[in-house]
Structure 1
Amino acid sequence: MKNNTLLKTINILLLFVGLTSVSYAQQRPNVIYIYADDLGYGDLSCYGATKLHTPNLDKLAKSGIRFTNAHATSATCTPSRFALMTGKYPWRKTGTGILPGNAALIIPTDKTTLPQVFKRAGYATAIVGKWHLGLGDSVNKNWNGEIKPGPNEVGFDYSFIFPATADRVPTVFLENHRVVASDANDPIAVDYSKKIGNDPTGKEHPELLKLKSSQGHDNTIVNGIGRIGYMSGGYQARWVDEEVSSTFLFKVEQFITDHRQKPFFLYYALTEPHVPRMPATRFKGTSGLGYRGDDILQLDWTIGQLMKTLELNGMTKNTLIIFTSDNGPVLDDGYQDGAVTLLSGHTPWGPMRGGKYSALEAGTRLPFIVSWPAQVKPGVSDALFSQMDILASMAHLLNQKVPNGDAEDSQDHLDVLLGKSKQGRSTLIEQGSTDPTAIIKGDWKYIKPHPGVAYMKDVGIESGNSPSPQLYNLKDDIGEKNNLANTYPDKVKELDQLLQHEIKLGIPGVVTPKN
């Protein structure tokens, strides 16, 4: 009798431990944040594209939540990435514009960052892909030795990156603090002010280019492509553009496989479809829309391979995947690659105006997909959400406190991410190419009067600049076609005062308690 009682007690304890373990596992998923580069709201078939079919991302969207009102903070890459990492509007800090390839690190090492939230919770952390947030303490750095501070100093245990973007030198990979395949006998030098070394440039020798420049991008030629900036040396270390995507994918698959037994956070920063677009040979010509379309198909295939890796390792159910882009789309961003001439009716911006560099909606409203089969039910959400809210939301998920003064603009909207609520942000400030010029509050969007051209001819995109105030009701007019500023002057005054107040005082419009 006593033995039976003891056995029942043990069984109950084991059941309790088992249930606790399951609950704990469900609250501590692997987390993969996938950042596409210059991908537009209308570039995926799950967001309405008809000229491109993206089956793997469609499948991901079908398994989770497809957001229709999620935003980057900015219409360009460096500031959006800064906001993601720090939970802070980038315009609150000087020097957060689009960085050259030799820039110093702009992420503070003494503040809470997104990877540090995971690290403090006992996660393994890694970044694979594009960085573009600076390296080292200054512009002048030794590319042939240890390069730090960088990703490792702001919370990543492991990093495999290229420094800026593929159209900027140096065209090399860095693994943690060192250039991959560097050679002391062939030292790397980088300069953005004057030509160095004997490498031909696109400007001097356009006959050597396999991808012609449409504007700029005519400095040092690497792999038949003119770049921004000058580089010498490091010939063994220079990448081949057609292999960049597969190299990043290999490192991602390796990291996932090596961390089957410990929860991890992986920041997977894709290079597609940013220029120079040079997809692997197997994808060239497959979209019929030029190299940009081919790049998007390559991106979609990459997501499929990632999902297969998770499935093979039994991780699919308890992995939280967030897929989005750093800013809106651009067709001609420096190279003649068929993106314009072969567009064939494709609309990368979806139903909106603008794109990369623009204060209009297509500059920051982006594809945003959240999948976590163990917790998230499939659906569609129209909640207003900002990428910089990932930090506070993940802190809530992992029961981590964010110190006062850190991530001051990040708001906890975990319930929105997980589909438990559609009550997102009440306000969001949008930054075009430079200044914070627009604010969304509820269904209303206000763009303050701003100098500059209304249409950026070099990239073929409306900027959102106007000498007059602009007011749109996004619920009825997502395309921002009907300016209601004259009809609702009180609303213009209200939103203008709110925008100016937040910019001047440096405080977010909605103060949310930190977790």
Structure 2
Amino acid sequence: MSMNSAADRRPNVIWVFGDQHRAQALGCNGDSNVHTPNIDNLAAGGVNFNRALSGFPLCCPTRGSLLTGRYPHHCVPGHERRLPEDQPTIANVFNEEGYETAYFGKWHLDGFQESEGRGAYHIVPPERRGGFRRWIGYENNNSPWDCWVHGGEGEDAFHYRLPGFETDEMTNLFIDYIRERGEEQKAGDANSFFAVLSVQAPHNPYMAPEAFRREHTPGNVELRPNVPPIARVRDEAQVNLSGYYAMIENLDWNLGRIRESLREAGLDLDTHIVFFSDHGDMHGSHGQFHKTSPWEEAIRVPFMIGGERPFYGRITGTSSALLNHVDVAPTTLGLCGIETPEWMEGTDYSSHRLPGRGRAEDDEPDSAYLQSVIPTGHGHSIDKPWRGIITKDGWKFVCFEGVSWLMFNLNEDPYELANMAHNSVYAGKRAELLGKLREWIERTGDSFELPEN
């Protein structure tokens, strides 16, 4: 399928996403600790999905769902599990539609066990790179100044150490790709493209280049109201957050560089920009750290769709859609006018950016499904499987196998300070939410022992 004619060419679309970036940690979402002018501008000129979430707040399962639009129990059910080799991805769909496809950065879908060595040195073979035609990345790396990338195959294979900070260097490679696409367009020989930039920031270790770290010290960090008054917890949270916010500001700066490269390449008016994260980070809220838990700080993620002036009739503002990790691929395809394949399980929310696209709002799910299928056993993680839901009308319900665990009315209790899961006054609401959760388990073919009431 040729798409060289400018009149016939579909829009480009790029993903830019970080790791462990919680939704609350953005200027446009109300966090006074951090300055994110480029992300804020993207939201101002686009749509900010202010209730977007990660239905399984853990790296590998979420990444599997992002690429396939399938729930983790059908795809990547736990940490360091491999993306099934026979599972098509969003890249395969774009390839079939005549797009160029490219992936840059953290992969973490090849099932490499860090207990056997360092993931930065592991080579993901070409046949397990998700169908992307260009792929430069790494399986996993938690050392941002000592990051190794690889790609190519056969005599063209390469593996080398990036010369600087991971987020900066991966952005450099991504910008090179944008410039290539711009030169092709100027020469009249360009296909539309789908390109992904996946960076480590702001995942721990929480460190950033000195220019960004300079403004952030532990003593200046204002903690969320649900961080308990325990000195050990508060001290650790403030130390970590000072680096975390610096990493976010570095990521914001790099997003600005990407947008400028699109303008210079003449691609800014033809490219959707989708900015998000795989999951959040607790940072001391409820005395917890890192991820794998169903509280808001771990499951809520930034998610915005923007671009300069991509198309007439575009929508700007905020959306309260419960966009989940399985919905990212269908929504991205919808932005380009491509139907969701039957094997994807998520919802196309592209109508919240482009009128008439995707699923009608009154046909969208009234809740979103939350899971932890296989616990990691890591420190600061929930050590039991759990399932839960969040409803459009603001309720959250989560249970362990056979027993209710958490229930919050987020409308009146956004910091989740009043757990009503075992309050007899709310027994009727608990039964209602349990019924909705049962429907999700049955609808998705999941397996989990729910409490009786």
> Under a length normalisation based on structure 2, what TM-score does the superposition of the two structures give?
0.75
2: distance between equivalents of 1:147 and 1:308? 31
2: distance between equivalents of 1:474 and 1:162? 38
Q: What stretches of structure 1 of length at least 5 have no aligned partner?
A: 1-19, 183-236, 333-348, 452-465, 509-515
Q: Give the SS at the match of 1:487.
A: helix
One-letter amino acid matched to 1:156: F
Q: Trace 1:441-460 onto structure 2 (pairs within 5 A).
A: 441-450=391-400
Report the counterpart of residue 251 of structure 1 in structure 2. 173
Report the counterpart of residue 327 of structure 1 in structure 2. 279
Bigger-Rg structure (1/2): 1
User: Is 1:474 the counterpart of 2:426 in the alignment?
Assistant: no
Question: 194, 200, 204: which is aligned to 1:271?
Answer: 200
Report the counterpart of residue 53 of structure 1 in structure 2. 35
* Alpha-carbon offset, residue 36 of structure 1: 1.1
User: Is 1:34 the counterpart of 2:16 in the alignment?
Assistant: yes
Q: Trace 1:375-454 onto structure 2 (pairs within 5 A).
A: 375=311, 376-404=314-342, 406-407=343-344, 409-418=345-354, 424-432=364-372, 434=375, 435-450=385-400
**Is the 2:49–2:302 Cα contact (8 Å) retained in structure 1?**
yes
Change in 2 beyond 3 A, CA 1:431/1:165? farther
Q: Trace 1:459-498 onto structure 2 (pairs within 5 A).
A: 468-485=404-421, 486-498=424-436
User: Is 1:97 the counterpart of 2:78 in the alignment?
Assistant: yes
**Is the 1:327–1:356 Cα contact (8 Å) retained in structure 2?**
yes
Report the counterpart of residue 306 of structure 1 in structure 2. 258
Change in 2 beyond 3 A, CA 1:281/1:469? closer
**Is the 2:123–2:150 Cα contact (8 Å) retained in structure 1?**
no
1: distance between equivalents of 2:217 and 2:121? 41
Q: Alpha-carbon deviations, 1:18-51, whole Å to 9, x = none?
A: xx965x45xx211011111111122111110112
Change in 2 beyond 3 A, CA 1:469/1:280? closer
**Is the 1:68–1:381 Cα contact (8 Å) retained in structure 2?**
yes
One-letter amino acid matched to 2:413: D
Question: 112, 125, 150: which is aligned to 1:148?
Answer: 125
* Alpha-carbon offset, residue 395 of structure 1: 3.6
1: distance between equivalents of 2:127 and 2:55? 22
Report the counterpart of residue 3 of structure 1 in structure 2. none
1: distance between equivalents of 2:418 and 2:282? 24
RMSD value over aligned CA atoms?
3.6
Aligned-pair identity in percent equals: 26
Question: 302, 306, 331: which is aligned to 1:367?
Answer: 302
Report the counterpart of residue 173 of structure 1 in structure 2. 149
**Is the 2:59–2:79 Cα contact (8 Å) retained in structure 1?**
yes
User: Is 1:62 the counterpart of 2:39 in the alignment?
Assistant: no
* Alpha-carbon offset, residue 496 of structure 1: 1.8
* Alpha-carbon offset, residue 321 of structure 1: 0.7
**Is the 1:41–1:365 Cα contact (8 Å) retained in structure 2?**
yes
Question: 103, 107, 115: which is aligned to 1:131?
Answer: 107
One-letter amino acid matched to 1:124: E
**Is the 2:123–2:138 Cα contact (8 Å) retained in structure 1?**
no
Q: Give the SS at the match of 1:385.
A: coil
Question: 230, 244, 249: which is aligned to 1:292?
Answer: 244
Q: What stretches of structure 2 of length at least 5 have no aligned partner?
A: 186-190, 219-241, 376-384, 447-453
One-letter amino acid matched to 1:438: G
Q: Give the SS at the match of 2:268.
A: coil
Q: Give the SS at the match of 1:129.
A: strand
Change in 2 beyond 3 A, CA 1:180/1:298? farther
Report the counterpart of residue 342 of structure 1 in structure 2. none
**Is the 1:65–1:370 Cα contact (8 Å) retained in structure 2?**
yes
**Is the 1:469–1:492 Cα contact (8 Å) retained in structure 2?**
no
Greater displacement, 279-288 / 113-122? 279-288
One-letter amino acid matched to 1:275: N
**Is the 1:322–1:368 Cα contact (8 Å) retained in structure 2?**
yes
1: distance between equivalents of 2:271 and 2:295? 34
Change in 2 beyond 3 A, CA 1:36/1:422? farther
1: distance between equivalents of 2:196 and 2:387? 29
One-letter amino acid matched to 1:174: H
* Alpha-carbon offset, residue 305 of structure 1: 0.5
2: distance between equivalents of 1:439 and 1:272? 28
**Is the 2:335–2:354 Cα contact (8 Å) retained in structure 1?**
no
* Alpha-carbon offset, residue 417 of structure 1: 4.2
Change in 2 beyond 3 A, CA 1:480/1:507? same
2: distance between equivalents of 1:69 and 1:369? 11
Change in 2 beyond 3 A, CA 1:144/1:308? closer
Change in 2 beyond 3 A, CA 1:507/1:445? farther
2: distance between equivalents of 1:96 and 1:149? 23
Higher helix share: 2
1: distance between equivalents of 2:339 and 2:319? 27
* Alpha-carbon offset, residue 383 of structure 1: 1.7
Q: Give the SS at the match of 1:111.
A: coil
Question: 58, 63, 71: which is aligned to 1:81?
Answer: 63
1: distance between equivalents of 2:47 and 2:341? 30
**Is the 2:282–2:289 Cα contact (8 Å) retained in structure 1?**
no
1: distance between equivalents of 2:98 and 2:85? 19
The count of aligned residue pairs is 391
* Alpha-carbon offset, residue 315 of structure 1: 1.4
**Is the 2:83–2:111 Cα contact (8 Å) retained in structure 1?**
no
Report the counterpart of residue 195 of structure 1 in structure 2. none
One-letter amino acid matched to 1:119: N
Q: Alpha-carbon deviations, 1:215-266, whole Å to 9, x = none?
A: xxxxxxxxxxxxxxxxxxxxxx4456x4222220111001111112221111
* Alpha-carbon offset, residue 367 of structure 1: 1.4
One-letter amino acid matched to 1:96: P
1: distance between equivalents of 2:79 and 2:433? 28
Q: Give the SS at the match of 1:317.
A: helix
* Alpha-carbon offset, residue 414 of structure 1: 1.9
